[in-house]
Amino acid sequence: MLNWIEKYRPRSLKDVVGHEKVKERLKRWIESFIKGKKEKPILLYGPPGVGKTTLAYALANDYGFDVIELNASDRRSREEIRRIIGQSAVSKSILGNRFIIVLDEVDGISGKEDAGGVGELIKIAKESKNPIIMTANDAYSPNLKNLLPHVELIELKPLKVNEIYKILKAIAEKEGLDVDDKVLKVIASHSAGDLRSAINDLQALALSGDLTIEAVESLPERNREKNIFDALRIILKTTNYKVATTALIDVDETPDVIIEWLAENIPYEYEKLEEIERAYDYLSKADLFLGRAVRRQNYSFWKYATNLMTAGVALSKEEKYRKWTPYKYPKIFRLLSSTKEQREFLKKILKKIGEKSHGSTKRVRFDLESLKMIAEHNPEMAADLCLYYELTEEEIKKLFKNANEIIKIMRELRKKRVKEQTSKVKKKEHLEEKEVKEEKIETKKEKKEEEKKEEPKDEKKEKEASKEDKKEKKKQLTLDAFF
């Protein structure tokens, strides 16, 4: 099956969407070259998928030039570049046509380690009698510092969402896809200006047979310099250790996500069983290191996992496969997406059980499975436990086959417990009232006793007072008699 990127690649500048000023500059540049003027090589730079290589090929086609292309990130040394490009820079094709030399990904050349690759590019740029177009994601990479004075820089901006949407719409119509406009717009929005990724996404979803809005909304955001499809292409195509290990530098995904992408796509790229076996062996070792990183909270293990899943997988093949492979989304992601609600529900249930049992996650899962078994054989006990764990009726309906029976028992238990609670409250209130009454009676008794105790004292005082009065009277009588 033909890659849709190649199938629908524009053959002429007039078919290239956007980049109007860049197209005009390229026309002036090539026409000046045709007139015999010496022009600096062009260095087109910008993020992946904005049309750098497409512009070079469309320009060559419009002006009748043949193309010699070299991916500089694969062929990096001085000898390799000279062998492939050297003679072509000063000669014509066998048909008498002139060449446009296209050097892709020149920022992938390392100045020190790639044995004079940048120096050879500078030499070719000075000596070439044919026009040269170079491409790079990052023109200001330190590797290209010495090259920049010898080239003309032209920046390509990411395409707008509406421009990408129109291209996707046209492709969908030509392929006869029954796809909603909203799906195409979401793909365009997710692409972050990367047309190649948007077309790859559309083709991958079309091949999977799932062009629903749910499937497309699970697409990864591509607001990064390199997306996961670019990384897969590098790892699964290259046989260079260094290239493979740098494939994930600008990919905004964690190793545990990348490992799933690789596991899904290795069998589609590699054809020999022994290569597939070796690749999965490296992936399994990488997975062990990822597990250790999580368990020990030591994420320095990630670097070992990354090397195993990139260089290990890349070097598992004996040679590069020069075919186009439609990379697919991992089935596990689709499964996780479709079961997200179920997993959230399970997480909620486990949290409720854990709050009551204070057990580990493993223990709580065991408790839940035990509860399901109890529900089958002893609904009364299950209902009692559900009340204890404070599970709702909706949650019970999702958990148990005999949910209606358990709910019925729960309601009866709840009523019974409410009655018992009400009875306890009334009994308590009755006891409190009784205590209050008893206290009042006791208080009255105490008051009476105190009053009784006080009465004899008063009588004694009255008697003493009476005696005193009598004495006074006697004294008075005696005095009266005397006088």
Q: In this structure, what are the phi and psi dihedrals at residue 70, rounded to the nearest 5 degrees? A: -135, 125
Is 47 annotated in some ligand binding site?
Answer: yes
Helix, coil or strand: residue 245: helix
**Alpha-carbon separation of residue 31 from 58, 95, 180, 395, 421 (angstroms):** 14, 20, 43, 73, 95
Is 50 annotated in some ligand binding site?
Answer: yes
Is 48 annotated in some ligand binding site?
Answer: yes
Q: What is the sign, positive or negative, of the torsion defined by CA atoms of 187, 192, 194, 200? A: negative
- Whether the CB-CB separation of 154 and 22 falls below 8 Å is answered with yes
Q: Which two tokens stand for residue 125?
A: 């740029």
Is 49 annotated in some ligand binding site?
Answer: yes
Q: In this structure, what are the phi and psi dihedrals at residue 114, rounded to the nearest 5 degrees? A: -105, 35
Is 116 annotated in some ligand binding site?
Answer: no
In this structure, which amino acid lies at residue 89?
A: A
In this structure, which amino acid lies at residue 316?
A: S
Q: In this structure, what are the phi and psi dihedrals at residue 390, rounded to the nearest 5 degrees? A: 60, 40
Which residues 6+ apart lie within 8 Å of 257 measured at CB? none
Query: What is d(CA 94, CA 115) in angstroms, rounded to the nearest whole number?
Result: 31
Burial class (CB in 10 A: 0-12, 13-18, 19+), 80: middle
What's the DSSP call for residue 89? G
DSSP sequence for 361-416: HHHHHHHHHHHHHHHHH-HHHHHHHHHHHT--HHHHHHH-TTHHHHHHHHHHHHHH
244, 100, 222: which is closest to 161 by C-alpha? 222
In this structure, which amino acid lies at residue 305?
A: A
Query: What is d(CA 467, CA 462) in angstroms, rounded to the nearest whole number?
Result: 9
Q: Which two tokens stand for residue 424?
A: 């306890």
Which residues 6+ apart lie within 8 Å of 77 measured at CB? 114, 115, 116, 117
**Alpha-carbon separation of residue 122 from 67, 128, 155, 172, 199 (angstroms):** 20, 10, 20, 43, 35
Q: Which two tokens stand for residue 326?
A: 């439609």
165, 222, 218: which is closest to 49 by C-alpha? 222
- Whether the CB-CB separation of 43 and 134 falls below 8 Å is answered with yes
Query: What is d(CA 354, CA 369) in angstroms, rounded to the nearest whole number?
Result: 13
Is 354 annotated in some ligand binding site?
Answer: no
What's the DSSP call for residue 94? T
**Which residues contribute to the annotated binding site?**
46-53
**Which residues contribute to the annotated binding site for ATP?**
46-53
